[in-house]
């Protein structure tokens, strides 16, 4: 199997036939041995019926249907687990990505030996206010935080070595940061390719403005995970220990000062009337809690391999369950 093409979708019945025809024509022309994995993320239209009909004509078509809408990250994660192609290509189902880019992406992975190639929609046909400007800000923050120099992290059109997708765990809304997840696993040969973009032909976008809020929150998460994900005690334990020591020595200094004054018969006010006493007490309590958080984090890391998938698959097509 040379290529696995993964297409997550939600209510894209109008575009599926045209999308597959274009993919099929490209792969036949290039003589690729390929599979197309559609992941129906809880569609309420005829998307699954169309996928099923395509699979009866073309054995290359495989399908996964979620019991309900779980999100793009979960859809990609489910498909990554079963993809067999030497090169794995992801694209959106709305026809804004061009299947004609498949040969060039395949060449960059196989011949140029890149681990990951991300599409860059340099010229976009989206709304400037609601999508383009927030996207530029988001991509700038992602580049600055992660150190991965890509212009368009959220482009759905990407190509990977198979070993890359098997090494990463995509969950939550982390599909935006797959290049960062790959880098954290040691796959550093990451580049981008400028790809064409067109306005949506059918339906409407499934992503609202709140995706940028979630995106920035996920960016903070992945920054933390890339540095302290395997050793949370190094973060929480260090800060907690530092706060506890500062609070302890502040309280100790107040207590010793009070004892010296009593020993010298110098009038001294109650320690509890000094605001520093309560600040010291709070620092010791917070320090202890942060240390415990680090310890619990270490336990969670140890149990991570046994984490249950956060989605339910209801049906398969051409896939051994």
Give pLDDT, residue 33: 96
User: What mean pLDDT is reported for the chain?
Assistant: 84
Pairwise CA distance, residues 95 & 100, whole Å: 11
Write down the residue that tokens 């981008």 correspond to: 192
What tokens does 128 get?
A: 């400037």
Lowest pLDDT segment from 17-26, 155-164, 196-205, 263-272: 196-205
Per the listing, tokens 């779980």 go with: 70
Please give the span between the terminal C-alpha atoms of the chain, in angstroms, as a whole number. 19
> Please, is 142 exposed, middle or buried when counting C-beta atoms within 10 Å of its C-beta (0-12, 13-18, 19+)?
buried
Residues 238 and 294: their CA atoms lie apart, in Å, by 9
pLDDT of residue 237: 82
pLDDT category of residue 212 using cuts at 50, 70 and 90: low
Q: How many CA atoms lie within 13 A of 24 on its CB side?
A: 13
Q: d(Cα 61, Cα 112) in Å, to the nearest integer?
A: 28
Find, among 64, 77, 11, 67, the residue nearest to 38 by Cα. Answer: 64
* Strands of 34-40's sheet in order across: 190-194, 116-120, 158-161, 87-90, 3-9, 34-40, 61-66, 313-317
Q: Point out which residues pair with 90 in neighbouring strands.
A: 6, 158
Q: Are 190 and 182 in contact (CB under 8 A)?
A: yes
- What's the mean pLDDT in 103-110? 96
Quick: pLDDT tens for 39-75: 999 999 999 999 999 999 999 999 999 999 988 989 9
User: Which of the 8 DSSP states describes residue 171?
Assistant: -
152 and 118 Cβ atoms separated by less than 8 Å:
yes
pLDDT band, very low/low/confident/very high, at 86 (cuts 50, 70, 90): very high
Residue pLDDT, tens place only, 273-303: 888 888 989 999 998 998 888 777 767 765 6
């Amino acid at each position: 199997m040379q290529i696995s093409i993964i297409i997550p979708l939600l209510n894209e019945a109008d575009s599926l036939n045209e999308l597959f025809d274009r993919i099929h024509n490209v792969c036949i022309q290039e003589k690729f041995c390929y599979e197309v994995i559609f992941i129906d993320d809880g569609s309420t239209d005829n998307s699954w019926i169309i996928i099923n009909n395509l699979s009866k004509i073309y054995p290359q078509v495989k399908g996964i249907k979620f019991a309900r809408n779980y999100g793009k990250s979960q859809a990609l994660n489910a498909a990554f687990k079963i993809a067999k192609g030497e090169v794995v290509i992801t694209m959106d189902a709305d026809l804004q990505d061009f299947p004609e880019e498949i040969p060039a992406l395949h060449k960059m992975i196989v011949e140029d030996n890149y681990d990951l190639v991300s599409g860059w929609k340099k010229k976009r046909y989206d709304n400037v206010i609601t999508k383009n400007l927030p996207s530029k800000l988001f991509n700038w923050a992602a580049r600055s935080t992660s150190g991965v120099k890509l212009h368009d992290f959220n482009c759905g059109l990407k190509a990977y070595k198979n070993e890359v997708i098997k090494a990463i765990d995509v969950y939550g809304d982390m599909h935006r940061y797959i290049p960062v997840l790959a880098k954290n696993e040691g796959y550093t040969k990451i580049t981008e390719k400028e790809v064409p973009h067109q306005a949506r032909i059918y339906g409407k976008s499934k992503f609202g403005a709140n995706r940028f809020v979630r995106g920035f929150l996920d960016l903070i998460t992945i920054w933390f995970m890339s540095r302290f994900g395997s050793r949370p005690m190094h973060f929480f334990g260090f800060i907690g220990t530092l706060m506890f020591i500062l609070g302890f020595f502040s309280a100790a200094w107040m207590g010793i000062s009070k004892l010296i004054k009593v020993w010298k018969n110098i009038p001294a006010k109650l320690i509890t009337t000094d605001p520093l006493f309560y600040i010291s007490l709070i620092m010791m309590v917070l320090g202890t809690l942060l240390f415990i958080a680090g310890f619990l984090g270490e336990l969670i890391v140890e149990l991570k391999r046994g984490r249950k998938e956060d989605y339910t698959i209801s049906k398969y097509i051409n896939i051994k369950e």
